[in-house]
Amino acid sequence: MSTEKEKMLSGARYTPADPELRAMSTLAHRRCQEYNRYDAAEYEAKASLLKQLIPHQGKDLYIEAPFFCDYGVNIAIGDHVFFNFNCTILDTMRVTIGHHCMFGPGVQIYTPLHPMKAAERNTGLEYAQEVTIGDNVWVGGNVTILPGVHIGNNCVIGAGSVVTKDVPPDSFAAGNPARVIRTIQQ
C-alpha cells in the first residue's frame, strides 16, 4: 500500500490533509514566513534558510521576498536562478527549473489539480502533474504556469501569460492561453 506522499509524487489521487503531508507543508510554510521576514541585507541568513527550504538547488539562487511554496523539497533549481518579488510555487509534484533562469514578479507555478466533477472534488482528493522549465528561460511578470507544462530551453514567456501547454525550445510565447508567437534565433 502506498502512502499519501507516494501517491502525491506519483500523480495518483491523494489526500492533502494526510498528517505526514500536513507536517511537511507546515514546515515549509513556516520557513517561507521566516524567509519573508528577513531584512533584505541579511544575505547569508536568507541563503541558509533557502537551502533548508529548497535543498535541491544549484549555485547563486536568489529569491526576493515574499516567496511561497507548498513543500520546497519537490523543487529542483539549477545554477544562477533569480525570482523577483511575490512568486509562488505549489510543488505537490516535482518542479524542475534549469540553469540561468529569470522569473518576474508575481510568477505562479502550479502542480496540483482537482477533479472536474463536483462530487469527486468534494471528496477532498487531488492529484498533480510535474512542471519542467529548461535552461536560459525568462518568465515575465505575473505569468501563471499550469500543471503538466514543459517549457524548453532558451524560451521567453511574455508578462501576464497563462501557460497551459508545452512550449518548444527557442520560443517566445505569450497570451491567455499562451501560444508561440515566434521562434527565437540563437
Integer Cα distance of 63 and 101 in angstroms: 12
- Cell numbers describing residue 46: 536568507
Active site residue 100: no
Integer Cα distance of 127 and 177 in angstroms: 22
Catalytic residue among 29, 80, 99, 114: 114
- Phi/psi at 98 (5° precision): -75, -165
119: Cα within 13 Å, side-chain hemisphere? 0
Q: Within its chain, how far is the Cα of 176 from the centroid?
A: 19
Q: Angle at Cα 95 formed by Cα 163 and Cα 66, nearest 5°? A: 85
Which residue numbers are catalytic? 114
